[in-house]
Amino acid sequence: MDTLHSIDKSRIPQHIAVIMDGNGRWAKERGQDRVYGHHEGVVSVRDIVNTCGEIGVQYLTLYAFSTENWNRPQEEVNALMELLVNTIRKEVEELKKNNVRLHVIGDFLSLPDICQKELNEAVEMTVMNTGLNLILALSYSSRWEIMEAAKKFAVDVQSGKADIDSLDDEQFAKYLTTSAFPDPELMIRTSGEHRISNYLLYQLAYAELYFTPVHWPDFRRENLLLAIQDYQQRERRFGKTSEQIQKNLTRHV
Ligand code: FPP
C-alpha cells in the first residue's frame, strides 16, 4: 500500500508546478555524463504524468528548459533539444490514449524548428483531450513572460483596447502565457535547492512550496504522493488569520 490511501481525494491540488532539478548531479554521482541524467529524468516525467492523471490533478506544469539554460554547454543544449523531440515523438500516442492534453509556454520561436514542428503536431494531436493538461515550460522565464505581458498591455492601451485605470491583477494575468490555466496551488522543486529560479513568479504568489532533496530522476509516484500529503497538512490563509480560515471551514462542513 502506498501513500495514496492517506491522501484526501477531495483535496488534490488542481495545478501542480514542478522544477525538475538534479539530473546532472544524479548522473555525476553515478560516474555518468549529465545527459544520462536527463534521459533518466524522462522516465520520472512519464511516471509523474501518469500519477497525476490517475489521481485527478488537472494541470501539471514542468520546467523543462529555462531561458537561462541556453547558456549551458552547446552539447548539452543540443542533447536536451534532441531528447525533447524524441520524447514527444515517442510519447504522443500514449498521451493521446491517456487523455492528456499538451500545452507549451515560453519563447516558442526561440526553439529549433524541429522542436517547434514536433511540439505543434503533438499539441494539435491532443487538443481534444479532456484529462490532465500537461504544460511544458520551454525557453521560459518569468521575467521574460512578465515583460512580454507588459508590452502586450501597452499595445492594447495604445490602440484603445485596454485602459490603464481598470487594470487589476486578474486582468494582467490574461496577458501571461498561462492565461488559460488556474494558478498552481503546489510547487515542487527537487534536488535540495530552495529557490524559485525565475519560474511562474506571478502565478506562484499563493502557492505552497515543497522542497525535497531527492534528485529528479529518483522522483517518482511515491515522492509525488508524499508532496501532496504534505500540502494537505498546510493551512492556506491567503493573507487572512488562522481563526478566519477555521471559522470558514466549520461553516462549510
Ligand atoms: C535540471 O537538472 C533539468 C533540466 C534543465 C532539464 C529537464 C529535462 C528533462 C527532465 C528531460 C526532458 C523533459 C521532457 C518533458 C521531455 P540540472 O541539469 O540542472 O541538474 P543539476 O542541477 O544537478 O546540474
Decide: 21 in ligand 1 pocket, CB within 6 A: yes
Give the active site residue among 50, 69, 98, 129: 69
Substitution candidate for ligand 1 out of 38, 49, 88, 103 with most atoms within 8 A of CB: 38
Helix (H, G, I), strand (E, B) or coil at 206: coil
Give the active site residue among 21, 23, 133, 223: 21
Close Cβ partners of 61 (under 8 Å, ≥ 6 residues apart)? 15, 16, 17, 18, 105, 135, 136, 137, 178, 181, 184, 200
Q: Is 40 a domain residue?
A: yes
Q: Is 206 a domain residue?
A: yes
Q: Are 191 and 214 in contact (CB under 8 A)?
A: yes
**pLDDT the model gives residue 244:** 79
Range of the domain at 67: 9-141+181-251
Q: Ligand 1 mean position to 101 CA, how many Å?
A: 22
Number of compact structural domains in the chain: 1
Q: Is 57 a domain residue?
A: yes
Ligand 1: which residue has its CA nearest to atom 6? Answer: 64
**CA–CA dist 41, 49 (Å, integer):** 12
Q: Ligand 1 mean position to 61 CA, how many Å?
A: 14
Q: Is 165 a domain residue?
A: no
**pLDDT the model gives residue 252:** 58
**pLDDT the model gives residue 240:** 82
Q: Is 157 a domain residue?
A: no
**pLDDT the model gives residue 251:** 64
**pLDDT the model gives residue 236:** 76
Q: Is 17 a domain residue?
A: yes
Give the pLDDT means over successive 10-residue stretches in the chain (253 positions): 90 98 98 98 98 98 98 97 98 97 98 98 98 98 98 98 96 98 98 98 98 98 98 86 78 57
Identify the residue whose cell numbers are 501597452. Answer: 154
Decide: 95 in ligand 1 pocket, CB within 6 A: no
**pLDDT the model gives residue 1:** 63
Decide: 136 in ligand 1 pocket, CB within 6 A: yes
* Residue 201: Cβ-neighbour burial (10 angstroms; 0-12, 13-18, 19+): middle
Q: Is 45 a domain residue?
A: yes
**pLDDT the model gives residue 8:** 96
This prediction has a pTM of 0.95
Q: Is 191 a domain residue?
A: yes
pLDDT digits (tens, 9 = 90+) for 64-78: 999 999 999 999 999
User: CATH code at 215?
Assistant: 3.40.1180.10
